Amino acid sequence: MLIGRLLGWILVLAGIIVVARDGMIWFKDGTYPLITGGEVWYSIDVDSLNLVQAVVQRYLSPEVWDPGIQTVLLWPAAATLAGTGVILLALFFRR
């Protein structure tokens, strides 16, 4: 329970950080580029992204990666992170 709520808050905070990053670029350049989840993962650790892709395609199915996971990686990172965090917070809500 505690781990689920903690992970939920971490993901919500990460989503807020990504929104702040996008907002700073918008303020500086006048354009609002939404960074995708795949771009965030690629910038953090490209090797793990390649490893996950290889494992999913080899041991599960190529169709799970494309269109499944690849589609999620093309969604805006802020919405994906914060949305997943809110779902975890709702699931592990202390009554």
Structural domain boundaries enclosing 55: 36-75
Q: Does 2 share its domain with 27?
A: yes
Q: Does 48 share its domain with 70?
A: yes
5 Cβ neighbours under 8 A, 6+ residues apart: 88, 89, 92, 93, 94
> Residue 40's pLDDT is what?
93
Q: Does 46 share its domain with 67?
A: yes
Count: domains in the chain: 2
pLDDT in single tens digits along all 95 residues of the chain: 889 999 999 999 999 999 999 999 999 998 888 999 999 999 999 999 999 999 999 999 999 999 999 999 999 999 999 999 999 999 998 87
> Residue 87's pLDDT is what?
96
For tokens 């609002």, the residue is 32
Q: Does 54 share its domain with 25?
A: no
Q: Does 41 share its domain with 57?
A: yes
- Spatial separation of the C-alpha atoms in residues 92 and 5, rounded to whole Å: 6
- Spatial separation of the C-alpha atoms in residues 26 and 35, rounded to whole Å: 12
Q: Does 41 share its domain with 27?
A: no
